[in-house]
Amino acid sequence: MTQFYYEVHEGNGPFLFLLHGMLSSRAQWLRNLDTLKQFSTPVIAEFWGHGRSPSPEDPAYYDPMQYVAQIENIRKAVGAERWFLCGQSFGATATLRYSLHYPERVMGQIFTNSTSALATNEVTKELYRDVNKLAQKLESGGPEGLKKMRIHPIHAKRLPPGAQEELLEDAPLLNPSGIARVFKYTSPHASVADEVSATTVPTLLVAGEQEDRFTPHREYGEKHIRGLEVVGADGGHAINIEAPEAFNQAVRDFIARNS
């Protein structure tokens, strides 16, 4: 069976599903795990082309609803009647969509700065107008081609000591062909901006306030996601790594209120 890689970390509390962003892996959460386990049971997954997950050739696997199906399969496998979700960056496109389709399974959801999740149609078209060229370039460029992307962890500048090394340990597992397919088949259709007004579950955005380019998308979320809570933290795009104490506390408080 072709499925996302996932692992369950024994903890004290409800299941908390966590999904990383583009060119990351389970290493995204290493700085948070010990604290998260104090009040939840973390379930960490990796999506196609990343970490230990496969890179299926069939484009059908890269339809955004297939990501939703993968998350639901994991919920069933771990035996969670209801659970919490947390999506980091691109991972939020999947977790926010899952909550729209399976609200009865979601106690609450958390996400971090995610342009890809909240980009309007106009912004999405601009972001991915050359996506076919990018996909071809990634496929032909191999691992060295991935390193040229500005979102590759080798270029990270804000991370605390040791965090970049943790991400880079998993970087050799990135599959250029799988990631090319994610960009080509998933990214142009990943935004949930047109749907988030239908959100019915408690939702928290932990926002890295130093990432200016996310500001209009944050404002869009505040306007369209009913009852959205926002906790700002001093950091940028990878806020759970850059400000782990603030992120962990915000998640702890949110889960305590909604369990």
Order across the sheet with 41-46: list the strands.
5-8, 41-46, 15-19, 83-87, 106-112, 203-208, 229-233
Domains contained in the chain, number:
1
pTM for this prediction: 0.97
Q: Is 68 helix (H, G, I), strand (E, B) or coil?
A: helix
Please provide the average confidence, as pLDDT, over all residues in the chain: 97
Task: Give the whole-angstrom CA distance, residue 197 versus residue 227.
Answer: 10
Q: Tokens 């200016």 label which residue?
A: 212
Nearest to 99 by CA among 107, 15, 248: 107
| Bridge partners (DSSP) listed for residue 43 | 8, 17
pLDDT at 126 over 90: no
Nearest to 189 by CA among 95, 113, 124, 115: 124
Please report, for the domain that includes residue 179, its CATH number: 3.40.50.1820
Task: Give the whole-angstrom CA distance, residue 57 versus residue 50.
Answer: 14
pLDDT above 70 coverage of the chain, percent: 100
| Model pLDDT, residue 122 | 86
Nearest to 74 by CA among 87, 64, 83: 83
**Binning pLDDT at 50, 70 and 90, where does residue 170 land?**
very high
pLDDT at 125 over 90: no
Task: Show the domain range for 16.
Answer: 5-258
Mean pLDDT in residue range 115-138: 90
**In what helix (H) or strand (E) does residue 178 lie, and over which residues does it extend?**
helix 176-181
pLDDT tens digits for 204-258?
A: 999 999 999 999 999 999 999 999 999 999 999 999 999 999 999 999 999 999 9
Residue 164: count other Cβ atoms within 10 Å of its Cβ: 18
